[in-house]
Structure 1
Amino acid sequence: MGGRRTTRRQQGRGARTVERAAVWAFVPVAVMAPFTLLALAVFWLPLQLVSDVPFWWFVVAFLCLGLLLFVRPFQAAVLTPLLGARHPDPTETDRVTRAWRAIAQANNLPADRYVLRVLPSDELNAFACGGHLMVVTSFAAARLSEEQLRGVLAHELSHHLGLHTVAITIGHWMSVPVVMLARIGFFFENVSHAAAQSFGRQSPVIEVVGVLTAAVFRGAGWVFSLALRAVDAIGNYVGHSSEFEADKRAVAMGFGPDLASALRAVLAGGSGPRPIGWRGRLSASHPAARTRVARIEALARNPAR
């Protein structure tokens, strides 16, 4: 049940396959950047009333705060509970740790380099996040065989090695002020409508001002909301490429059959995870499991592809 040691030729081929995906993974970040700067400018303007902080210092502070997402202790202590994950229980620890040690050995990595966590869920799923975090659902930890867990963890490690998770984490952090402004815009739209309806009966001017204010906030909310939808659409398209490249690297590591077996378990269990919230934005970028199995089997037959 031990791991398979990757040859230099396989490692080189696996590294080359993720280069394009690593570059493309940052495309959504580039698209999000101007909207993030615009949102930060909106938050910075009221700050100018009470301080003399330059705008670019404000931007740098925001970016530096985001760097904490890549600090291993911060991920373990803060990001893990934010995702709703937990430490594996004794049974999960035994199974997941054995599978992970085989992956680490095959890639000449220290076993404690990455943080392994479990997400309580009845879905068969796993994802990588930040710079060190790998999460499997409790259902996957309980139902997948050790071989299948090896395939899943090899795939998630490939996301880390291919820098896909770096781009995703940066993108999510940059979207925070955009999401906040979109929600604030829609909130004040509702407040303005309520004010127009309540006080507009007393004065037509108040009604007109309330309606116009609501229209302004609605427009602002839609601008930032559409920006998020556009970036998510681009991210999902790019994410398909990242998933395929991570599969290629897992095959190059020697864990392709294990990963294909895990994906067949996903097919047998139904349609897979539902796109809800932050984790849903990750899962929405996954191609169909059936397609991935076919490509993995094709790579196994023709490793030079």
Structure 2
Amino acid sequence: MTTSAAVTLLFGLPWLLSSMIVLTVAAGLVTAPFTFDSGADDAVSNIVGWAVVVGFPLSGALPLWGPVENTIARLLFRFRPPSPQERQRIDALWAGVARRAGIDPAAYTLWVQDADDVNASAGAGRTVGVTRFALAELAPAHLEAVLAHELGHHLGGHPWARILVYWYSLPTRAVLRLAGLITRLLTRLYSLTIGAMLISRSRNTGTAAFVGCALLLVPAFCVLPFLLPLVPLVVAAPVDAWFSRRGELYADRVAADLGYGPHLADLFQLWQAQGYDDGHTQAGALERMMSSHPALHARLTALQRHAQRSGA
């Protein structure tokens, strides 16, 4: 496991703590109607407590289980299995990468994403995906270099760490979505009420406005206890982004060590000429600091330095 993957897991601890609070409260609400005496209440509380404290952290193994991994690939990453023609091309290129890396190519599952941009990603478990556009438009050597980069992410433990953190964040994200839905409904009701009062020229408009504003704050106060563990993530977000960029450079180095350095550098230069780096060069300092990917010129420089150090 690389340092960037370890830092990703470290930043996942607040999500885990927040979600465990959510699950504890939810379990208490569900089991409350079924406890009528102190003995039963203690037994149920112990079962629920152990289920949350032990069961939920252990559930992090589920995204690495084949059926769940495939479901995540389809639903979260919007991947699909390659068509027969796509399969023929991607399998041949992946076999070349696997041969250089000394791994079994069948150990990873290859997917295609229906997107019209040049991109690839390393998903949960042993998932490797490329966009339809990249598969159709990239030269074989360039596409093979991109696949080697994604393998570098897997070898560094980056996808496993990211999907584990995402898994542990799901209960908290569900609460945030519910709070957002309630807020939108209250806002709509508030607007309709104030609008009706203005039309009827009611004298209670001011009171209704005050009460409505107070009600809109209710969802925020309800979710606040669950969000407190996430405060460190807001403060340390630039650090997390920096390590994410380091993870990208690590995957580039893995591809270079497999012999794809020149092809990767050639692809980066091609993308620069096509304006792919314009967003980074035009972004402000804060936006660059929060970016999860390094600029192409930085990746090129890092590849050149790595080649000099390795004597390639």
Same fold (TM over 0.5): yes
- Structure-to-structure mapping, 1:237-256, within 5 angstroms: 237-256=242-261
Instruction: Tell me the CA shift for residue 50 of structure 1.
Output: 4.3
Kept in 1, the 8 Å contact 2:79–2:113? The answer is yes
Partner of 1:216: 218
Instruction: Tell me the CA shift for residue 253 of structure 1.
Output: 2.1
Instruction: Tell me the CA shift for residue 226 of structure 1.
Output: 10
Kept in 2, the 8 Å contact 1:182–1:225? The answer is no
Say which of 108, 118, 124 aligns to 2:118: 124
Q: Is 1:190 matched up with 2:195? A: no
Q: Deviations over 1:187-206 (max 9, x none)?
A: 22333445556399789998
Instruction: Tell me the CA shift for residue 42 of structure 1.
Output: 3.5
Partner of 1:12: none
Q: Deviations over 1:41-97 (max 9, x none)?
A: 343332232453413303544444442211134323x12221211112233222211
Q: Deviations over 1:90-134 (max 9, x none)?
A: 332222112111111112211100001110111111110111000
Distance 1:50 1:255 in 2: 62
- Mean alpha-carbon deviation: is it higher for 50-59 or for 92-101? 50-59
Q: Is 1:45 matched up with 2:28? A: yes
Instruction: Tell me the CA shift for residue 251 of structure 1.
Output: 1.7
Q: Is 1:74 matched up with 2:75? A: no
Against the structure 1 CA distance between its residues 135 and 42, is the aligned structure 2 distance closer, same or farther, given a 3 Å change threshold? same
Instruction: Tell me the CA shift for residue 144 of structure 1.
Output: 1.2
Task: Look up the SS of the partner of 1:179 in the other structure.
Answer: helix
Say which of 93, 102, 113 aligns to 2:87: 93
Q: TM-score, normalised by structure 1?
A: 0.78
Partner of 1:23: 6
Partner of 2:146: 152
Task: Look up the SS of the partner of 2:129 in the other structure.
Answer: strand
Kept in 2, the 8 Å contact 1:114–1:132? The answer is yes
Q: Deviations over 1:210-252 (max 9, x none)?
A: 5434213134557749949727655423211111112122222
Against the structure 1 CA distance between its residues 295 and 58, is the aligned structure 2 distance closer, same or farther, given a 3 Å change threshold? same
- The code of the aligned residue for 2:303 comes to I
- Mean alpha-carbon deviation: is it higher for 149-158 or for 58-67? 58-67
- The code of the aligned residue for 1:110 comes to D
Q: Deviations over 1:128-172 (max 9, x none)?
A: 011100011111111111111221111111111111111100111
Q: Is 1:289 matched up with 2:296? A: yes
Partner of 2:131: 137
Against the structure 1 CA distance between its residues 192 and 168, is the aligned structure 2 distance closer, same or farther, given a 3 Å change threshold? same
Partner of 2:305: 298
Against the structure 1 CA distance between its residues 205 and 60, is the aligned structure 2 distance closer, same or farther, given a 3 Å change threshold? farther
Instruction: Tell me the CA shift for residue 208 of structure 1.
Output: 6.2
Against the structure 1 CA distance between its residues 68 and 265, is the aligned structure 2 distance closer, same or farther, given a 3 Å change threshold? farther
Distance 2:238 2:26 in 1: 26
Partner of 2:263: 258
The RMSD of aligned alpha carbons is 3.4
Distance 2:301 2:115 in 1: 27
Q: TM-score, normalised by structure 2?
A: 0.76
- The code of the aligned residue for 1:261 comes to D
Q: Which has the higher helix share?
A: 2
- Mean alpha-carbon deviation: is it higher for 201-210 or for 258-267? 201-210
Q: Is 1:36 matched up with 2:19? A: yes
Q: Which has the larger radius of gyration?
A: 2
For structure 1, list consecutive stretches of 5 or more residues without a partner in the other structure. Answer: 1-17, 275-282
- Mean alpha-carbon deviation: is it higher for 283-292 or for 152-161? 283-292
Kept in 2, the 8 Å contact 1:151–1:260? The answer is no
Distance 1:234 1:289 in 2: 20
- Mean alpha-carbon deviation: is it higher for 226-235 or for 109-118? 226-235
Kept in 2, the 8 Å contact 1:72–1:132? The answer is no
Q: Deviations over 1:28-51 (max 9, x none)?
A: 212423222233234333223245
